[in-house]
Amino acid sequence: MAMMYSEKVMEHFSNPRNVGEIENADGVGEVGNAKCGDIMKIYMKINGDTVEDVKFKTFGCGAAIATSSMATELIKGKKIDDVLKLTNKAVVEALDGLPSIKLHCSVLAEQAVKSALSDYYRRQGIDPVPIVGEIVDEDETDIGSCALAFSK
Amino acid sequence: MEQQETIYFDNAATTQISGDVLDSMMFWLTKGYGNASSIYRLGREADTALAKARSDIAAALGVQSGEIFFTSGGSEGDNWAIKSLAKAGQAKGKNHIVTSLFEHHAVLHALDSLKKDGFEVTYLPVYENGTVRIADLEAAITDKTALVTIMYVNNEVGTIQPIEQIGAVCAAKNVPFHTDAVQAVGNLPIDIKKSRIGLMTVSGHKLHAQKGVGFLYADKRYKPAPLIDGGAQERGRRAGTENIAGIVGLAKAVVFATENVANKRAHIQPLADKLKHGVLSLGHVDLNGEGGERISGTLNFCIQGVEAESLLLSLDMKRIAASSGSACTSGSLDPSHVLLSMGIPHWKANGSLRLSLSEYTTEAEVDYFLQVFPPIVERLRENSPLWEKIVKEIPFK
């Protein structure tokens, strides 16, 4: 039973957008872990109320790389208020769907974006939780919960 | 080298059908379509072909025709051998089975199903070298042991198990011994009698025969109770109209494979060595099961800092077919039970790559692989936060 990715996923996997790091980023977020097999790290340059630039690095499967790439595309140049509204569903739709066992990658991408915003607020001395919410991350203590953490 | 055709490095998954095998099958797929149980000439001819295939395989393995039972392949052979031996043992009050941690799922899941029926299973460790230890086996066998089932060659890492010693221990303790030899036939000289193998599973499609055909060898002392009930085929032990074309092709493939073990190894070894050195030269790469005795055609690496599926998708874009130990593409997100059983940590097992060769592998294909592989790894590592942690020696979970 071979798993099929959409052409959009494969396109983002082969030519991911916004790959790399931002020096002196205003917010950096990292979610996932090596044990679960995916780590996403997002860098943001924020100017006023706008995410001016965004870059990412991802260790993970095709879906992990494609969802990170798409998430950065969806938020680049957007107002923070709009970025906060990014959902994993929007990422999945923009990629023309994901196999069900890979849906957790889109959640991870959403959480990576939120984690970078949280870091930005913390650097401003602002408690991010009321604005961004709690970051849901994979639980490395139990391999079975790698993807399950997101179904809570 | 401009490549249009698939560069196939997944011969442990399945193989291409050989020209000789296909030729041997054609008559039985077209003109010789009779049912081997029918009384008229067409049926009798099919029955004669069936008998010849059986005796050719028996002769190639140094056993008797009556000890060969045709099946649909490896999963059926494993299930049949294990469940029939378990049932026979249960009738004598034996409810214990010994196996290894890194068997194929056809064995492990058959055992899971027996556990629901009250069987207890001992899983022998396989250590970093991917090999069971005889002392562990000796310690595991009790007077309640109904059977021992240990694979001949591991399908993911290619390590060879000490079959002759296992057979000797089982014989001494009078416990039936089954081995899944799906990855062994053609890669090693096999001496069933000397190794005192009681039952042995073989599959055709790993040997350049068709998918959906294989056989179970069962020493005449064991008469496996049917898993599939119905007609009187296979001496009343395995019902179903025989796949004559498939069986004729299987016999051709088994005879060729057993006669050409040395030639195959002579062809594959230098290619595998070149591949191995090329891949290891990337750095931060482990060859899994290196300390164990391995068949020449299966190489399993952990490419640190990259994830297996990304690697496989990238190779596929270059028309290279390979696989990982990881089952992530087949519905499970857990890394390979084989690699984990060998003590390889998750973070490494998530980046596993299996390359398996055959007599059809060419040096040009190996060279092409070694040309396209390093830039793929470099690209994925460059974009990997894990790789950053590895090279900067930052601790990670």
Domain span(s) for CATH 3.90.1150.10 in chain B: 7-16+261-391
Q: Domain segments of chain A: what residues?
A: 7-127
B384 CB neighbours in chain A (<8 A) are 39, 57-59
Question: For chain B, percent helix, then strand, then coil, each to nearest 5?
Answer: 45, 15, 40
B309 CB neighbours in chain A (<8 A) are 61-62
Q: Which DSSP letter does residue A141 get?
A: T
Span A66-99, pLDDT tens digits: 999 999 999 999 999 999 999 999 999 999 999 9
Shortest Cα–Cα distance, B312 to chain A (Å): 9
Q: Mention every residue, 6+ apart, whose C-beta is less than 8 A from residue B147.
A: B82, B85, B86, B89, B97, B98, B175, B176, B177, B178
- Among chain B residues, CA nearest to A100: B331
| Whether A35 and B334 lie within 8 Å, measured CB to CB | no
- Topology (CATH level 3) of domain A7-127: Sufe protein. Chain: A (3.90.1010)
Q: B248 - beta bridge partners?
A: none
Of A35-39, B195-199, B213-217, give the lowest mean pLDDT range.
Answer: A35-39
pLDDT of A122 > 70? The answer is: yes
pLDDT of A146 > 90? The answer is: no
Span B269-306, pLDDT tens digits: 999 999 999 999 999 999 999 999 999 999 999 999 99
Instruction: Report the distance separating Cα B378 and Cα B195, nearest Å.
Output: 46
- Which 3 state secondary structure label does DSSP give A65? helix
Enter the ipTM.
0.93
Q: Mention every residue, 6+ apart, whose C-beta is less than 8 A from residue B294.
A: B130, B157, B158, B159, B160
Instruction: Report the distance separating Cα B151 and Cα B301, nearest Å.
Output: 21
Q: Predicted confidence band at B329 (pLDDT cuts at 50, 70, 90)?
A: very low
Mean pLDDT of chain A: 92
φ and ψ at B145, to 5 degrees?
-75, 120
CATH architecture of the domain covering B7-16+261-391:
Alpha-Beta Complex (3.90)
Span A17-47, pLDDT tens digits: 999 999 999 999 999 999 989 999 999 999 9
CATH number for the segment(s) B19-259: 3.40.640.10
pLDDT at A54: 98
Domain span(s) for CATH 3.40.640.10 in chain B: 19-259
| Whether A35 and B331 lie within 8 Å, measured CB to CB | no
pLDDT at B3: 47
Which uninterrupted H or E stretch holds B179? strand B177-180
pLDDT at B326: 52
| Whether A59 and B384 lie within 8 Å, measured CB to CB | yes
Instruction: Report the distance separating Cα B297 and Cα B95, nearest Å.
Output: 37
What are the tokens at B332?
């499970």
pLDDT of A140 > 70? The answer is: no
Span B91-121, pLDDT tens digits: 999 999 999 999 999 999 999 999 999 999 9
B393 CB neighbours in chain A (<8 A) are none
Number of other residues whose CB lies within 10 A of the CB of residue B6: 13
Q: Predicted confidence band at B228 (pLDDT cuts at 50, 70, 90)?
A: very high
| Whether A34 and B384 lie within 8 Å, measured CB to CB | no
Look up B328 and say whether it is catalytic: yes
- Residue from A4, A17, A59 to probe the interface with B (highest B Cβ count within 10 Å): A59
pLDDT at B385: 97
Q: Which residue type sits at A8?
A: K
Determine what percent of chain B is predicted with pLDDT higher than 70: 97
